[in-house]
Amino acid sequence: MTRAKRDFGSIRRRSNRRYQAYYVGPDQATHRAPSTFEARADAEAWLADERRLIQRDEWSPTRFRRARRQRASQAFGPYAESWLAYRDIKPRTRVLYRRQLDRFILPAFGDVAMREITPTAVRIWHSGLDPSKPTQRAHAYGLLRAILTTAVTDEVIATNPCRIRGAGTSASTRRVEPASLEELRVVVDHMPERYRALVLIGAWCGLRLGEMSELRRSDLDLRLMVLRVRRGVVRVEGQVSVGLPKSFASIRDVAIPPHLIPVIENHLERFVRPETDALVFPSVGDPSIQVHANTLYRHWYRARLAAGRPDLRIHDLRHTGAVLAAQTGATLAELMARIGHSTPQAALRYQHAARGRDAEIAAALSRLAEGR
């Protein structure tokens, strides 16, 4: 956030990269522009207009109060639509926000004036959301809070009425059980040969499905035994979107366990075109297109049933890889780097799971010592 010294008024760049202009008026009070500006030149123009009004003795502080009242009286719906339209977010996130607005937020607040969205109104709305779907409930509340936080920044409203403690987070109700090595072997044996390397990379290298689907020959350095994660693919409303991985921390180099090298070499020779930009896991019908998740799921469901793990998701391979890495004694920082997490919370879960498995091993050793 930067400020510029001027003969009249000040301009600062806020954390959201928009510019805010303000000045001390003849009444010795600070007056801010009705909204922030995308370009610095627009902020300078607004200050120039205000200075001109003062010089002509046409300036009045009441119009600021009137402008603020007008902003606060605007309906939430149009403001939310503008908020979403100019938000720099990934395509899948945009679709998710659109769905949450249409299903949960706009029906309740779309026609309500911004100033009439009170803490009481928010609490009543939140209590009406389905408590049996805590994640969906938390996401809807979090989106409403984010929009109204921006409204406070834009000085449309004075304070954010979303004040329900903990409402924006939800505890996971699903306990992920990593696959055992035997279960993993059975799953791999029951997958088509062209997808076995994908399952093994997911389990032993901890990649997300979107990261594996976008792997290309040039991302694999088998001589150095390194796999480079630089992109990810998602499908949004039937459209393929290739971009950066989930977060900045997800851009990483992952060391490939040596026992996977022959498997990957065999896969590259049999199923991957020779070009450096060839997809490692392409569609059967079109090698220039990433394998569709539905194709994988069709085979995956049969394979996991054969392993006696109908609860196991493809994404749980990543969890399995993280727990296996934790069992080797990997530190928290090493786990974060390998799995591509920007915060330690998830990596801590993997370490806890590994310690739980270690207790099982210790118990088994005691049974062995006692001859049972």
Convert the pLDDT of each residue in 55-108 to its tens digit.
888 777 765 555 555 555 688 999 999 899 888 887 888 889 999 999 999 999
Using alpha carbons, select from 152, 218, 201, 188 the residue that is nearest to residue 299.
188
Catalytic-residue membership of 318? yes
Query: Within 10 A of 251 (CB to CB), how many other CB atoms are there?
Result: 16
Q: Taking the alpha carbons of 43, 48, 49, 50 in that order, is the dihedral positive or negative?
A: positive
- Active-site residue, from 31, 196, 208, 252: 208
Once rounded to an integer, what is the mean pLDDT over residues 283-311? 92
Catalytic-residue membership of 267? no
Residue 212 CB-density burial (10 A; 0-12 exposed, 13-18 middle, 19+ buried): buried
pLDDT at residue 339 in the model: 74
pLDDT at residue 233 in the model: 84
Alpha helices in the chain (DSSP H): 40-55, 62-73, 76-85, 91-100, 106-109, 119-127, 134-153, 181-189, 193-205, 209-213, 261-271, 293-306, 316-327, 332-339, 344-369
- Active-site residue, from 69, 99, 315, 367: 315
User: Residue 294: left (phi > 0), alpha (psi -120 to 50), or beta?
Assistant: alpha
Residue length of the chain: 372
Q: For the domain 181-366, what is the CATH code?
A: 1.10.443.10
- Active-site residue, from 23, 97, 141, 350: 350
- Average pLDDT in the chain: 84
The tokens of 188 are what?
């791999």
pLDDT at residue 91 in the model: 80
97, 84 contact by CB (below 8 A) = yes
Look at residue 265 and tell me whether its pLDDT is greater than 70. yes
pLDDT at residue 123 in the model: 93
pLDDT at residue 341 in the model: 67
Q: Which residue has the tokens 């403690």?
A: 165
Q: Would the pTM count as exceeding 0.85?
A: no
Catalytic-residue membership of 299? no
CA distances from 21 to 68, 151, 208 (A): 15, 16, 44
Once rounded to an integer, what is the mean pLDDT over residues 49-59? 84
pLDDT at residue 171 in the model: 61
Percent of the chain's residues with pLDDT above 90:
37
- Active-site residue, from 18, 252, 318, 319: 318
* Of 217 and 115, the one with more pLDDT: 217
Using alpha carbons, select from 346, 362, 360, 354 the residue that is nearest to residue 330.
354
Q: Is 285 helix (H, G, I), strand (E, B) or coil?
A: coil
- Per residue in 134-149, pLDDT (tens digit) is 889 999 999 999 999 9
The tokens of 273 are what?
């075109």
CATH class of 76-153: mainly alpha
186, 322 contact by CB (below 8 A) = no
pLDDT at residue 108 in the model: 93
Look at residue 359 and tell me whether its pLDDT is greater than 70. no
Find the distance separating the first CA and the last CA of the chain, reported in whole Å. Answer: 67
Q: Which residue has the tokens 């990596």?
A: 347
Query: Within 10 A of 210 (CB to CB), how many other CB atoms are there?
Result: 21
* Of 292 and 88, the one with more pLDDT: 292
Look at residue 28 and tell me whether its pLDDT is greater than 80. yes
Residue 314 C-beta-side C-alpha neighbours within 13 Å: 23
Tell me the backbone φ, ψ of residue 332, rounded to 5 degrees. Answer: -60, -45
Using alpha carbons, select from 56, 314, 367, 74 the residue that is nearest to residue 198.
314
Provide the Cα torsion 348, 353, 354, 358; round to 10°.
Answer: 140
* Of 347 and 250, the one with more pLDDT: 250
